[in-house]
Structure formats: structure tokens, C-alpha cells
């Protein structure tokens, strides 16, 4: 744990320590108790900035907006204004809505733009540089959510991020490592990126250095002062268009001006009496999550021991089938007909489980042979945060640049990283192979279309009561991470802390293998799963689920920071530096 976090915890502990211990019994770690709301994110500084907004009476949406802009400064691997994402808002009365600010394909894009002369996918083009980005949606999305549910002035939510960029902030060990790798590697071809993120004067970033992001401060100040139009129609749009045209990129000022965020109805379902609220297309996450939960409810998964071979076998078969549906049917609903209602129906789940053999792993190829064309992944950065305010409004927000640091591209003068989200489209029409490439029509590239996502922000409720707010990064593993956290709390009665700490698993139909986090299941269980025919791979970690959990007996709210992220923190209005020492949140020195 970093020194600054230890110092902050020591202050919290000192303030919270009772004069005489009331009990000598160890209390279970339930997370950070949050009487007045909480922000749980992968950036401690950004969590503090969000919590300071809650302290000033801002709503959960206000806090989410401030946190998202702050993460665009403190967490450049995924926090962004040059990318996109999804937000779910649940109001105290139980109604819910979502905001879709997914990137769109530029007007000049074509279905085969990433194929080389031999018809193979040129992954360099989607990995980095000027052809990789979709038209960013984050700034419009945050503005739309703010206009619906914000209470504080927009400027007051964006300026803390601009100030942070201008005044600088302390680099953590994980940020130093990430920046050093980026600047020496993928950012090297892009002078604007090295100028923005290289250490002034050269050399390596180290924990404790102060990083100042001058151009980003200028851009954020413009957005704070002039609103989202500064980004989409003003000088920032001019700068993007000019650099794109000069470097073979596609995004134009017209693309930026035409970008609109969308408010969409969430997908909703039930699982063992819980209400599940998640993201509709163009994310596949909510639909796949509900399909899996419906199958697992019909299979009475809650009656099996949690990490038993039987339970893991059945959850794997459910994951496999929902991912096959994803490959077959899901895409941007503004462009293709997606049969969401059928896919999330209990009847569909009943049909799907008829093909599950309790004694044998199914073959993914056999199940999907109508779409698999030839024998033949997704990267690992995005970020999720969860917010609740004292009135019971909750926000579940996942946003991303796609790969870590997106396209590794900062257009000179703008200070922010552009996404490489175009790679989420199906890039080779007609080719669906064993390595996980999908070529089905629903997610082919078309001008103005949103690429399919796996981001799965989710909110769980029971009657009028909030139960859980969660989500994760991790490409296609996201859907399974959200499933595992939801199952932990709902099927197996874990606390939020236990469900977040619990081992996670992944199966995405193709490639046909089951990944389990290191130490996730016993050797015996692994052996049984292999005997059933699963290709089991054990190791690593999966996702980062920054979660809010409500105690079922007391109704107390807890922020649960996922320990898999080095800088994660659950901040409440009483734990910010501002509340404790008067220092402004975020500018700790
Ligand atoms: O939208 C998606 O599903 C992906 N672009 C998310 C990428 C991702 O999660 C990478 N991260 N860890």
C-alpha cells in the first residue's frame, strides 16, 4: 500500500478509535462504512474529488461527473475524455435509466478498413495511432447525465480535474510504472503523447514525483467554462480534425459535431427475487448477464457449494451459451435489430439449459457451428466506479479507452489520449474463428455506428432497497466478473467484501477455455473440471470491481475497493483530505 494511503488510513483510524474498546471480537471487514454517500474508484485521488462533491451536497451523478473528469487526469490508462462508456443511474424511488456515450465509427469508415491486401486483420491499425479511434463520447455523456440528475454547477464538477492537471499531483508507483512503459514503448511514435506524458527533461517517473498536465488543464478548463461544445465544435474539434487529416486519420469536425449521447432504458431482469438492472446494447454486457442469471436460476445454482466442480461447470456452461448469443445477435440497436427481449426471457434460458450436460463440457464449436467459419483477444484496460449519495441515488459507471492508454495518441495541444475502440467492431466480415474473432453481421463497421461493448455496469435491488452497485474492466471478462460478484452476493449470501475478494472465472464461448484466477479453486476441483472436458487455465487476476454493497440487515452502505487495483479507494464525505485537514481533495503534496 502506498505511503499516502497509509497516512490517510492512520488519520481515519485515529479519528474513529473509541476511548475504550467496546468489543474484543474481531469485526469482519465489510468495506468503508458510508453514512453520507461514497465513491469507489480505481484512483484514490479521483474518489476523494467525487466524495468532496457529495460533501458539498452534490448528487451521485454530480459526484460521478467529477470523478470521471478527475480520472481523465489521474488514471490515464482508462480514465478519459477521449473515449466512451456507459452509466446507469438508479433513483431513490427505484426507477432507473442509462446513458450511452459509446464511441461511434467516423463517417469515412468502412467494414473492411482494417484488412490488409491478403484479407487479414491488420491489428496494428486498431492498436495505436490515427485510424484506431472512434468518435469520443465521454464529454457529451457526462453532460447529458448532469443535465438530467445534476444539482451542482457543471463548472464546479470539471474544474477540480482542470486544477489537478494544472497544479500537478503525486504519481503513485503503479502510475509511474505505466507511464514509463508507455513513453518508452507504444507512445514513442507520437510526439504529442511523449510531450504530454514524458518526464520533463527525460528520465523515468518515480513514485512521489509530481506530474503536471498543462495542455490537459487547458482542455478541461475550456470544457468547464464553455461546456461540452468546447470539445465537439470548438478549437478542440478543429485541432483533432487538422491532425487527423494530416496523419491519415478519419475523424472530422462534422463527426464530432454530430456525436450524441443517448439515454436508453436499462435491461432489467430478476434473479432469485433480486432485481438486476444493467446496460442494454450497444453493450452486450447487460443482455449476456441476464441470460446467464436466468439459466443459473433455472439450474438452482444457489443450492450447490460455491466453488464446487458442479457449480463451476454449470456457470461455465451458462457463460459459454450467453457469449454465443452475443456473437450471433448483438450490435448497435440503432443499426441492427437485436432481439433483447427474447434473449433475456426466462423461456430462452429454459431452452438454452436443455443442451447442458451435467457430466460433460459442451463443445463451443459444435454449439455455434452455424457461425464458426474457420479454425483461427481483447486487451486489459477500462475502469469502473460506483457512487451512492446520502439520498439513495446510485451510479454505476464503466468507461474506457479500450486498450490501456487507448490509441497511445495525444494530439498535440489537446493533452488527452484518444481511444482505440474501433477494434471492438467485427473486423473481418464473415470470419468467426476459434481464437475469438467474430465476423457476424450485427457488429460490422458502418459510419456512425457504435461498436459492441462488453462493459457491464450493474445495479442490484430488492424491492425498494439498493443491494449492490458493481462493474469492472477486462474486455470480454467484464461480463463474467460482474456475474461472479452478483452471484456471490445474491446466490451465496456473501458480503460485498467477500464477493469482491472471491475468485473469478471466465469463459467466452471461443476460445473454448475456462480461465480461473490464481488459487481460485482446489486442485481436486480443477481435476474434476478437466475430467468433464474443460480446458482449464489457472492464474493471474481478473478485473477490478469497485463496488458498493448494502448490508441486508442494517441497511448500512459500504464502499468496497477492489484490492486487485493498487490505487483503488472508497472515499466518503468524511474521509476526504478536505474533511480531515482542510486540504483540497486531490492536491496532496
Ligand atoms: O467496450 C469493451 O467491451 C472494451 N473496449 C473494454 C476494454 C476493456 O475492458 C479493456 N480492459 N480492461
Catalytic residues: 382
Specify the ligand 1 atom closest to the Cα of 454. 3
Per-residue DSSP letter, 333: T
Write b or e for each residue in 265-280: b if 16 or more Cβ atoms lie within 10 A of its Cβ, otherwise e. Answer: ebbbbebeebbbbbbb
Q: Which value, to the nearest 10 degrees, does the dihedral of the CA atoms of residues 134, 135, 139, 144 take?
A: -110
Residue 281, pLDDT score: 98
Q: CB-hemisphere CA count at 13 Å for 215?
A: 17
Residue 375, pLDDT score: 56
Q: How far apart are CA 507 and CA 295, in angstroms?
A: 15
Q: How far is the CA of 477 from the centre of ligand 1 (A)?
A: 9
Place of cell 486498431: 126
Ramachandran quadrant class, 131 (left: phi over 0; alpha: psi -120 to 50; beta: rest): alpha
Residue whose CB lies within 8 A of the most ligand 1 atoms, among 178, 455, 472, 477, for a mutation test: 455
Ligand 1: residue whose CA is nearest its atom 8: 475
Q: For residue 180, count other CB atoms closer than 10 A to its CB.
A: 17
Ligand 1: residue whose CA is nearest its atom 6: 475
Measure Cα distances from 310 to 302, 306, 518 in Å. Answer: 11, 9, 19
Instruction: Tell me the helix, strand and coil percentages in the chain, rounded to 5.
Output: 40, 15, 45
Residue whose CB lies within 8 A of the most ligand 1 atoms, among 78, 283, 400, 450, for a mutation test: 400
Specify the ligand 1 atom closest to the Cα of 379. 10
Q: How far is the CA of 577 from the centre of ligand 1 (A)?
A: 32
Residue 583, pLDDT score: 75
pLDDT in tens, the chain (589 residues): 232 332 333 333 333 333 344 455 678 999 999 999 999 999 999 999 999 999 999 999 999 999 999 999 999 999 999 999 999 999 999 999 999 999 999 999 999 999 999 999 999 999 999 999 999 999 999 999 999 999 999 999 999 999 999 999 999 999 999 999 999 999 999 999 999 999 999 999 999 999 999 999 999 999 999 999 999 999 999 999 999 999 999 999 999 999 999 999 999 999 999 999 999 999 999 999 999 999 999 999 999 999 999 999 999 999 999 999 999 999 999 999 999 999 999 999 999 999 999 999 999 999 999 999 865 444 447 999 999 999 999 999 999 999 999 999 999 999 999 999 999 999 999 999 998 899 999 999 999 999 999 999 999 999 999 999 999 999 999 999 999 999 999 999 999 999 999 999 999 999 999 999 999 999 999 999 999 999 999 999 999 999 999 999 999 999 999 999 999 999 999 988 888 887 766 554 3
Residue among 383, 319, 377 nearest 544 (CA) = 383
Ligand 1: residue whose CA is nearest its atom 5: 402
Residue 278, pLDDT score: 98
Q: How far is the CA of 465 from the centre of ligand 1 (A)?
A: 30
Q: How far is the CA of 421 from the centre of ligand 1 (A)?
A: 8
Residue whose CB lies within 8 A of the most ligand 1 atoms, among 454, 457, 541, 544, for a mutation test: 454
Q: How far is the CA of 494 from the centre of ligand 1 (A)?
A: 27
Residue among 409, 423, 408 nearest 476 (CA) = 423
Specify the ligand 1 atom closest to the Cα of 424. 5
Q: Phi, psi at residue 209, to the nearest 5°? A: -65, 155
Ligand 1, CB cutoff 6 Å, lining residues: 379-382, 400, 402, 421, 424, 453-455, 473-475, 478
Ligand 1: residue whose CA is nearest its atom 1: 453
**What cell does 401 get?**
479507452
Specify the ligand 1 atom closest to the Cα of 102. 1
Q: Judge whether 550 and 465 are in contact, CB under 8 Å.
A: yes
Q: How far is the CA of 163 from the centre of ligand 1 (A)?
A: 28
Residue 586, pLDDT score: 58
Residue among 577, 556, 578, 462 nearest 4 (CA) = 577
Ligand 1: residue whose CA is nearest its atom 11: 381
Specify the ligand 1 atom closest to the Cα of 474. 12
Ligand 1: residue whose CA is nearest its atom 2: 453
Q: How far is the CA of 107 from the centre of ligand 1 (A)?
A: 23
Say what the pTM is.
0.94
Per-residue DSSP letter, 137: -
Q: How far apart are CA 212 and CA 196, in angstroms?
A: 9
Q: Judge whether 451 and 459 are in contact, CB under 8 Å.
A: no
Amino acid at each position: 500500500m502506498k505511503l499516502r494511503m497509509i497516512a490517510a488510513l492512520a488519520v481515519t483510524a485515529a479519528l474513529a478509535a473509541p476511548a475504550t474498546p467496546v468489543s474484543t471480537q474481531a469485526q469482519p471487514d465489510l468495506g468503508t462504512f458510508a453514512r453520507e454517500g461514497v465513491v469507489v474508484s480505481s484512483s484514490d485521488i479521483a474518489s476523494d474529488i467525487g466524495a468532496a462533491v457529495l460533501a458539498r451536497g452534490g448528487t451521485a451523478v454530480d459526484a460521478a461527473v467529477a470523478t470521471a473528469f478527475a480520472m481523465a487526469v489521474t488514471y490515464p490508462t482508462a480514465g478519459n475524455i477521449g473515449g466512451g462508456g456507459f452509466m446507469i443511474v438508479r433513483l431513490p424511488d427505484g426507477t432507473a435509466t442509462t446513458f450511452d456515450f459509446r464511441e461511434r465509427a467516423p463517417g469515412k469508415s468502412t467494414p473492411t478498413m482494417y484488412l490488409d491486401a491478403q484479407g487479414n486483420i491488420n491489428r496494428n491499425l486498431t492498436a495505436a495511432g490515427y485510424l484506431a479511434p472512434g468518435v469520443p463520447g465521454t464529454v457529451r455523456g457526462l453532460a447529458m447525465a448532469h443535465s438530467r440528475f445534476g444539482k451542482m454547477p457543471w463548472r464546479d464538477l470539471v474544474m477540480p480535474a482542470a486544477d489537478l492537471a494544472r497544479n500537478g499531483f503525486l504519481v503513485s508507483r503503479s502510475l509511474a510504472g505505466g507511464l514509463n512503459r508507455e513513453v518508452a514503448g507504444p507512445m514513442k511514435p507520437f510526439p504529442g503523447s511523449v510531450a504530454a506524458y514524458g518526464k520533463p527533461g527525460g528520465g523515468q517517473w518515480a513514485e512521489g514525483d509530481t506530474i503536471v498536465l498543462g495542455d490537459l488543464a487547458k482542455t478541461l478548463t475550456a470544457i468547464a467554462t464553455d461546456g461540452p461544445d468546447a470539445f465537439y465544435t470548438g478549437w478542440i474539434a478543429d485541432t483533432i480534425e487538422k491532425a487527423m487529416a494530416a496523419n491519415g486519420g478519419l475523424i472530422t469536425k462534422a463527426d464530432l459535431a454530430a456525436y450524441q449521447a443517448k439515454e436508453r432504458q436499462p435491461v432489467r431482469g430478476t434473479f432469485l427475487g433480486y432485481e438486476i438492472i444493467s446496460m442494454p446494447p450497444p453493450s452486450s454486457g447487460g443482455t449476456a448477464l441476464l441470460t446467464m442469471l436466468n439459466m443459473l436460476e433455472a439450474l438452482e445454482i444457489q443450492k450447490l457449494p460455491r466453488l464446487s466442480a458442479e457449480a463451476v461447470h454449470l456457470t461455465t456452461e451458462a457463460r459459454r451459451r450467453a457469449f454465443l448469443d452475443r456473437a450471433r445477435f448483438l450490435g448497435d440497436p440503432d443499426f441492427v435489430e437485436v432481439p433483447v427481449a427474447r434473449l433475456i426471457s426466462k423461456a430462452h434460458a429454459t431452452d438454452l439449459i436443455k443442451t447442458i450436460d451435467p457430466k460433460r463440457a459442451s463443445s463451443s464449436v459444435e454449439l455455434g457451428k452455424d457461425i464458426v467459419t474457420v479454425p483461427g483477444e481483447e486487451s486489459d484496460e477500462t475502469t469502473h466506479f460506483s457512487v451512492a449519495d446520502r439520498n439513495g441515488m446510485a451510479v454505476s459507471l464503466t468507461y474506457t479507452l479500450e486498450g490501456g492508454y487507448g490509441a497511445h495518441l495525444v494530439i498535440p495541444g489537446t493533452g488527452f489520449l484518444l481511444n482505440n475502440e474501433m477494434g471492438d467492431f467485427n473486423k473481418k466480415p464473415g470470419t468467426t474463428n476459434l481464437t475469438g474473432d467474430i465476423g457476424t453481421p450485427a457488429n460490422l463497421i458502418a459510419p456512425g455506428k457504435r461498436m459492441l461493448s462488453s462493459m457491464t455496469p450493474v445495479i442490484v435491488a430488492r424491492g425498494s432497497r439498493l443491494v449492490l452497485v458493481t462493474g469492472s474492466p477486462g474486455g470480454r471478462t467484464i461480463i463474467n466478473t460482474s456475474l461472479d460478484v452478483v452471484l456471490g452476493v445474491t446466490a451465496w449470501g456473501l458480503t460485498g467484501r467477500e464477493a469482491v475478494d472471491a475468485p473469478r472465472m471466465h469463459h467466452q464461448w471461443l476460445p473454448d477455455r475456462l480461465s480461473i484466477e490464481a488459487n481460485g479453486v482446489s486442485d481436486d476441483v480443477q481435476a474434476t473440471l478437466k475430467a468433464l472436458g474443460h480446458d482449464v487455465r489457472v492464474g493471474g487476476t481478473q478485473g477490478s470491481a469497485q463496488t458498493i454493497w448494502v448490508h441486508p440487515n442494517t441497511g448500512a452502505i459500504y464502499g468496497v475497493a477492489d484490492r486487485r487495483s493498487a490505487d483503488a479507494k472508497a472515499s466518503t464525505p468524511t474521509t476526504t483530505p478536505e474533511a480531515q485537514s482542510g486540504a483540497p481533495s486531490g492536491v496532496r503534496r
